[in-house]
Amino acid sequence: MEKIPRLTLIGAGPGDPELITYKAVKALQTADAVLYDALVHPDILQFAPASAELVYVGKRPWQQGKGGCEFAQSDINHLIVQYAHSHGHVVRLKGGDPFIFGRGFEELVFAQDCGVETAVVPGLSSSYAVPALAGIPLTCRGVSESFWVLTGTTKDHQLSNDIAVAVQSSATLVVLMGMKHLPEIVGLLAKAGRADEPVAVIQNGSRPDEQVALATADQIVKTVLDRKLSNPAIIVIGAVVALHPDWVAYNHIARLTDAPVLTNSR
């Protein structure tokens, strides 16, 4: 029986394999091919049938300090369609939620334009799941009434202009893909009079090797360098960071090193 070409676009969540949804697992169990990203935990692939072809299509840089990636987006688009026609049911497995800075919509539309049936299974976004798991609420009564989720890097590899606007707000800011531009982000905070704003950088959120760096804006770059933190990481900016259980410990260290101290807002 000839298989109908179809695509299920799945969000795998922030990293911990137990955070994938039940609906996503059910879709994986019927996959004929799985195209998965670099941030997808390998344990999630075990939900696919043994007969399914597993295809890595990660975009992590393959040359240190250069912009090249292992797979270009256009190549991935064509691979989805290719496997849909050759195998049948393709599961496209992406970290976080595919519609939040995941280029999922681009892949969906390309597949539809090529006559492939499509479906979407949302996933937990690292933008809110990772801070929550680390003990940072993005909103809290009396502390923060809203939050912004921003990309730190545009498709042209530049700092997003939206961040200059966002730092004028009292909202909690969550910056994805912003580690490369962390010094510029800190500079915008200082320019807005927020050099003492609490900042958290969370690397490998939800995974066993998660690391959290806490500091005021004018100290966070040094802290990140000292801790040797890098991508994958998210940046959380705002008074809610001071609700993290370790903020008191950070303040104690700050007093010993003459770094700025911020009172816990709780």
Catalytic residues: 37, 59, 177
Q: Token pair of 205, please? A: 């959120």
DSSP state of 228: T
Task: Give the phi and the psi of residue 66 in degrees, each rounded to 5.
Answer: -120, 160
Q: Sheet holding 89-94: strands in order across? A: 53-56, 33-36, 89-94, 6-11, 117-121
Query: Which residue has 């909103």 as its token pair?
Result: 139
Q: Sheet holding 172-176: strands in order across? A: 147-151, 172-176, 233-237, 198-203, 211-216
> Is residue 24 within a helix (H) or strand (E), and if so which, with residue range?
helix 22-28
Paired sense of beta strands 211-216 and 198-203, if any: antiparallel
In degrees, to the nearest 5, what angle opens at C-alpha 56 toward C-alphas 128 and 234? 20
